[in-house]
Amino acid sequence: MKKLLLPLCALCFCFSFSQDIELEAFASGFNRPVNIKHAGDDRLFVVEQDGVIKIVNTDGSTESTNFLDIDSRVGSSGNEQGLLGLAFHPNYATNGYFFVNYTNNSGDTVISRFSRISVNPAIADPNSELIILTYSQPYSNHNGGELQFGPDGYLYISSGDGGSGGDPQNNSQNTNSLLGKLLRIDVNNSSASNPYAIPSDNPFVGNSASREEIWAYGLRNAWKFSFDSLNDDLWIADVGQNSREEINMVASTDAGLNYGWRCYEGNNTYNTSGCPNSNTLTFPVSEYSHSGGRCSITGGYVYRGSTYPNLEGLYFFGDVCTQEIGYLRYENGNWNSTFEGFSGNWVAFGEDINGELYVSSLGGSIFKITDTLLSIDDNLLNSISISPIPAKNILNIDFSNVNVSFSANITVYDIQGKTVKTIFKDKENKSTSINTSDLKSGFYILKIETENGRQITNKFIKN
């Protein structure tokens, strides 16, 4: 990331945003926790920047024995160096493989595979390391560091532009460099003699002037990226230079995209010398300026849990410098952002097996993201009945168990956020129905917005 530490006095700003989310303390006592992942079960694995991975149980307790300790191999003297990324193989339950992204004692990036100990699945074998890929880092900052397995089963890696400021080597636009990229490799049959393969549909396969590992380019420092667990969309939060932070969202199948750095910082020109035509570039779906002290984005996830239906479909992110957590909501054809102020240097988001979201502060604590409306309107949320699920020709909404009368606008959105149905419920009506016979099969979002501004959302399936 561009900036992880600031004097506390620089964080004294006033915010007037409504408080729609809350943070619930979950676990603490970590040393610079910079990554949170699950392994296909209900545990969370927390990556500490110095080179340790710890296991957190569902009650927030931390296992006394470290899952992995490679501190001696990890160089973390630079503020953005260290053990940065973790990804469990999709078949981890059977093969025990997981992958890490770290800077070594020479400051260069290493992508390695490790294995858990078969007799004790709560401990990994530090001697099982198989180095998959290495590449040099010319400076200590902008190492990227995120790892994710995509819906296609391949491993995706964010690399950062190599550091300094302004990408002085123009790595991001150079497709013969692995820096400033999103890489995509096949690690399903890794061995010492053949650590990875190149997927045949990578965009630069067969191009002798480009590295075939590249999936996308033109990134400055994609500190975090993720895939939407519902529709596989790829979300990339790219840390800006001097003035803009950006969020990119594309279909996971979109290959060879150029996100524009160093030609553009967000939607603003930065250094367009030798750059391609702007109509060949992919620009962010959302950006924000450095006004009010904002300076460094931490990307997160789209909420797909079931505990907080009001959060459904929101993309969460954070800004390290202002201690804000933000989210994007798709409304009327646009992604609109909301920021809420909390206390913490937010450096990583995590998603558990159930789609619930967590966020870690550099100071060592992990919080669960919750919804204030669930506690405020608990009776209202729990008393509205929607049937049948899945819906066929009619979706019935029953308000008879709600102990207050209210009017409401009821809206149905498709999974892309497009409005497909709207009706109005007046105070006297205790039930209403929506004709769904003309809707295509698939997932939809139902939003009920009351006269006093309360919003209730829920997912439903149309057969």
Provide the H-helix boundaries in 309-430: 372-376, 378-383
Strand 334-341 and strand 324-331: pairing? antiparallel
Q: Is the pLDDT of residue 276 over 90?
A: yes
CB 424 within 8 A of CB 409: yes
Where residue 326 falls (left for φ over 0; alpha for ψ -120 to 50; beta otherwise) is beta
Superfamily of chain region 8-373 = TolB, C-terminal domain (2.120.10.30)
Residue 371 is predicted with a pLDDT of 87
Residue 339 is predicted with a pLDDT of 96
Confidence of residue 73 (pLDDT cuts 50, 70, 90): very high
The closest alpha carbon to 384, from 416, 362, 353, 406, belongs to: 406
Confidence of residue 408 (pLDDT cuts 50, 70, 90): confident
Query: Cα(211)–Cα(135) distance, rounded to whole angstroms?
Result: 12
pLDDT greater at residue 268 or residue 374: 268
Confidence of residue 2 (pLDDT cuts 50, 70, 90): very low
pLDDT greater at residue 234 or residue 2: 234
Q: Is the dihedral angle over the CA atoms 426, 430, 435, 440 positive or is it negative?
A: positive
Q: Provide the terminal-to-terminal Cα distance of the chain, rounded to the nearest Å.
A: 45
pLDDT greater at residue 402 or residue 256: 256
Question: In three state form, how does the secondary structure of 246-271 look?
Answer: EEEEECCCCCCCECCCCCEECCEECC
Q: Is the pLDDT of residue 416 over 80?
A: no
pLDDT greater at residue 407 or residue 297: 297
Query: Cα(455)–Cα(463) distance, rounded to whole angstroms?
Result: 26
Token couple for 206: 């067969």
Residue 450 is predicted with a pLDDT of 78
H or E segment and range at residue 94: helix 92-95
Residue 443 CA: distances (Å) to CA of 231, 332, 450: 10, 19, 23
Using a 10 angstrom Cβ sphere, with 0-12 exposed, 13-18 middle and 19 or more buried, the burial of residue 208 is exposed
Confidence of residue 9 (pLDDT cuts 50, 70, 90): very low
Give the model confidence (pLDDT) of 41-70 as tens digits: 999 999 999 999 999 999 999 999 999 999
HSE toward the beta carbon, residue 36, CA cutoff 13 A: 35
Owner of token pair 């129905």: 433
Question: Which region among 242-251, 360-369, 402-411 has the lowest average model confidence (pLDDT)?
Answer: 402-411
Give the model confidence (pLDDT) of 306-338 as tens digits: 888 889 999 999 999 999 999 999 988 999 999
Q: For CATH 2.120.10.30, list the domain ranges present in the chain.
A: 8-373
Give the model confidence (pLDDT) of 199-227 as tens digits: 999 999 999 999 999 999 999 999 999 99
pLDDT greater at residue 166 or residue 416: 166
In the chain, the percentage of residues whose pLDDT exceeds 90 is 79
Q: Is the pLDDT of residue 118 over 70?
A: yes
Q: Is the dihedral angle over the CA atoms 299, 303, 304, 305 positive or is it negative?
A: positive
Residue 422 is predicted with a pLDDT of 93
The closest alpha carbon to 256, from 200, 187, 182, belongs to: 182
Residue 17 is predicted with a pLDDT of 35
Q: Is the pLDDT of residue 377 over 80?
A: no
Q: For CATH 2.60.40.2550, list the domain ranges present in the chain.
A: 377-462
The architecture (CATH level 2) of 377-462 comes to: Sandwich (2.60)
Determine the longest span between alpha carbons in the chain, in angstroms. 73
Query: Cα(170)–Cα(316) distance, rounded to whole angstroms?
Result: 30
Across 17-21, average pLDDT: 60
Across 402-409, average pLDDT: 78
The closest alpha carbon to 227, from 239, 244, 215, belongs to: 215
Q: Average pLDDT over the chain, rounded to whole?
A: 91
The closest alpha carbon to 226, from 123, 351, 404, belongs to: 351
How many C-beta atoms lie closer than 10 Å to residue 213's C-beta? Answer: 21
Owner of token pair 């420092």: 221
Token couple for 108: 């260069």
Give the model confidence (pLDDT) of 141-159 as tens digits: 999 999 999 999 999 999 9
Query: Cα(33)–Cα(30) distance, rounded to whole angstroms?
Result: 6
Q: Is the pLDDT of residue 7 over 80?
A: no
Query: Cα(412)–Cα(440) distance, rounded to whole angstroms?
Result: 13
Give the model confidence (pLDDT) of 330-365 as tens digits: 988 999 999 999 999 999 999 999 999 999 999 999
Give the model confidence (pLDDT) of 131-141 as tens digits: 999 999 999 99
Residue 82 is predicted with a pLDDT of 98
